[in-house]
Chains A and B, each alone.
Chain A
Amino acid sequence: MIVLNSSDGATFEVEESVAVQSQTIKHMIEDNCADTSIPLPNVNGVTLARVLEYIKKHAEAKDDEEGLKSFDAEFVKVDQASLFEIILAANYLDIKGLLDLTCQTVADQIKDLTVEEVRAIFNIMNDFTPEEEAKLRNDHAWAFE
């Protein structure tokens, strides 16, 4: 069993065979840095719990394609803040499947939206100057698709 420490001090136990889905953890184990516990200063407790849920499910139900698909679909039904936290965690822990799933989810959220809607959903400020915006609008109307 491997022990993981989140940034806010929570500890989690997980089987080594499950934990090695994270390339980062896998390398740490191989480099013998995992004697007592592995510190993960970039991931908080709540997010780490979620990530572990994902890798546990994917380890135990490896061949059940349909089951995993529906699990994944439910897994990403979280609020935006949590979704981005999971993306960052999956990136740091180098878990390709989770990273692809979450990034695809964000991409799907952008699907079919107009510019204003994208900004609204992700709370993004428009930092173009009016001239730049006009040029962009022109480009999109006249120059290319």
Chain B
Amino acid sequence: MDISTAGGLLFLLNEDLLTRIYSFLSGDSSDKKSFRATCKTFYRVDSLQRTHLRILRPEFLPQLLSKFPCLNSLDFSGCPRIDDGALAVLLRNGSVPFWATKLRRAVLSRSCGLGYYGLDILVKSCPVLEIIDVSYCCTFGDLEASAISCAANLRDLRLDKCLGVTDVGLAKIAVGCGRLEKLSLKWCLEITDIGIDLLSKKCSNLKQLDVSYLKVTNEALRSISRISKLEVLAMMRCGMVDDVGLRYLGKGCPLLQVLDISRCDKLSSTSIVSVIKGHNGLIELHASYCFFELHLTPYCLSLELKNIKTLTLDGARIAHSSFQLISTSCKFLVEIGLGKCKGVTDNGILQLVSGCINLKMLNLTCCGDITDMAITGIAESCQNLVCLKLECCNLLTEKSLYSLGSFSYLLEELDLTDCSGVTDLGLGYLSRCSKLVCLKLGLCTNISDKGISYIASCCTKTCELDLYRCSGVGDDALASLSVGCKKLKKLNLSYCNKITDRGMKFLGHIEVLSDLEIRGLLNITSEGLTAVAAGCKRLAELDIKHCENIDDSGFWALAHYSRNLRQQINLSNCAIRDVGLCMVMGNLTRLQDAKLVNLINVTVNGFELALRACCVRLKKVKLLTSLRFHLSQEIVEMLAARGCRVRWD
């Protein structure tokens, strides 16, 4: 077989096999996009198999829809402003189009221009609609809810922050959508116990319910406890619920697996007992910032918590006996959150990890009393350790990193922000954890280029590195990173003042860099920015606030090279001028979010022109408040009409 035939080997594979390979491509849209644009055969496979489309502009939809016969899921959240008219045009051209009859999933989050009329057309034209997401459409109310209630096949509905929905709207949905399995009412502040009661009576198939932030009382929990198939319940910050309510829950919902009661401040730790009893299927319990003190008595834990995998107890004071109990009862514990907990001592941790050897994730943020002994204990006992968060654990020294380097071969994520005991020597020991993917060393002022070079040479899988305010880090560190960490995607070098253009040029060699934060680097100029813009072709987010020595030529380079800059850019406090700003905002066609505060060298006219150039696609922009009075009414209205949110600083 001749390998060098034009067209390549891939065409030995028939379309069935190509389709199979296509089905394994990750959900991330960029892979499928590259696949599609490669050649005609791949294009055809993609067109025939594609089920999901995220639209950027509704005008293109009709012609796109005819190309994709398998499409059943549409995401409109990226569109500038989809409104009733747009949906009407799509769906009412004579008869209902074929694709609408197959549409299963419609994502319309943040589509504030939509209303009852549009939703009604959508629901009536798409009989098999199962998933609707209208989260953050803050103006939605009962009228829109009644339109949604006509979707009889609805299984999954997200109404997060639909502030106008009241019990009336919820009742309509409960009656109309009896097959509902997942419902999110987070932030729908008008909903009360009455609505929840009707919901529990009509939607007996409900498996997942989110009532976070609602002003519901114990009565609502009494109703919820009657939903026999409920598996996941989130009730963060339900400030009016107390132990009585949780006792109701304890007696019902036999299939409960995941419970989130974080920030419900009227609960005491005995309420956990009432939920745990009789719920030995509980796998995840999130109880952050609920109680002042956690008291777990022996009898309540021995049987019930044995299946638990995730426990989040941030913010509580934990007694030593609790560590003992968790260690003896929760043998399958995989994740534990003890961030900002008081009473976390070395002894407690050692006790914990002696029993919970399957731990993969430990959050010990701000547990300032722990020392190297605890970390050594964790490293030696928990062979499967993947993620360790130790922000602000100031008593740790190189010994901890030595232990981690010696035992924790599977470690992927480590947060050492503000740990003053981290030194170059420690990083040298740590570099033996060759599977490290995410490393946070913010505010670690005792490290220098040497420490970074150890990490760079051994931890080649590093994707994310945070060196915020690591004042000892300079150009040489970037040199070693550019050679060793070829997979680096996210890098924070804010306020690392030793970095100059030389370092920036090294950064230009890291081709996959997509998220770069370099605030306050006063020693870099346009030369440096140009090098990064030209080299890092996948740059999607850039924050160069306070880089006051970059002038327009740097921004021209950015405008020219970084066409992919898609998510956001922060240019506040930079020395950019009118022309530079106009070029940046005009040429970066995929930009969605821009922070343009304190641009002292840009005139009002400059802002006008720049905003005009990009108002069509910009979704969020941050501007100085005083600018509000100087910008023309026209441009402000245009921005609003296009669905762009302006934040006035």
Contacts and interface: CB of A to CB of B under 8 A. Distances in A.
Real binding pair? yes
B53 A118 contact: no
A77 interface: no
Given A80-B9, A122-B8, A144 B40 contact: no
A37 B516 CA distance: 62
B641 interface: no
Contact of A144 (B12, B20, B64): B64
Given A84-B10, A112-B31, A125-B6, A143 B40 contact: no
B299 interface: no
Interface in B450-505: none
Output the residue of B3, B37, B39, B589 with the most chain A CB within 10 A.
B37
Given A99-B20, A128-B39, A145 B34 contact: no
Contacts of A70: none
Nearest to B60: A143
A117 to B, nearest CB: 8
B24 interface: yes
A143 B20 contact: no
Contacts of A1: none
A62 interface: no
Contact of B60 (A87, A104, A111, A144): A144
Interface stretch (A26-34, A49-57, A134-142): A134-142
Nearest to B3: A81
Interface in B51-81: 53-57, 60, 64, 78
Nearest to B489: A112
Given A103-B21, A107-B24, A141-B590, A88 B37 contact: no
A36 interface: no
Contact of B34 (A100, A108, A114): A114
Nearest to B14: A91
A78 interface: no
A124 to B, nearest CB: 5
A145 B33 contact: yes
Contact of A119 (B1, B25, B38, B60): B38
Contact of A124 (B10, B21, B30, B60): B10
A84 to B, nearest CB: 5
Given A107-B25, A110-B25, A139 B60 contact: yes
A88 B16 CA distance: 11
B212 to A, nearest CB: 29
A124 B42 CA distance: 10
B297 interface: no
Contacts of B16: 91
A81 B54 contact: no
B614 to A, nearest CB: 14
Contacts of B39: 119, 124-128
A76 interface: no
Contacts of A140: 33, 37
Contacts of B512: 112
Nearest to A137: B37
A141 B37 CA distance: 12
Interface string B111-127: 00000000000000000
A139 B542 CA distance: 25
Given A81-B9, A125-B6, A143-B60, A110 B35 contact: yes
Given A104-B24, A125-B6, A143 B64 contact: yes
B34 A115 contact: yes
Interface of A: 80-81, 84, 87-88, 91, 99-100, 103-104, 106-108, 110-115, 117-119, 122-128, 133, 136-137, 139-145
Q: Which 10 A-B pairs have the closest CB atoms?
A: A123-B8, A107-B24, A143-B60, A145-B54, A115-B37, A103-B21, A104-B24, A145-B29, A124-B8, A103-B20
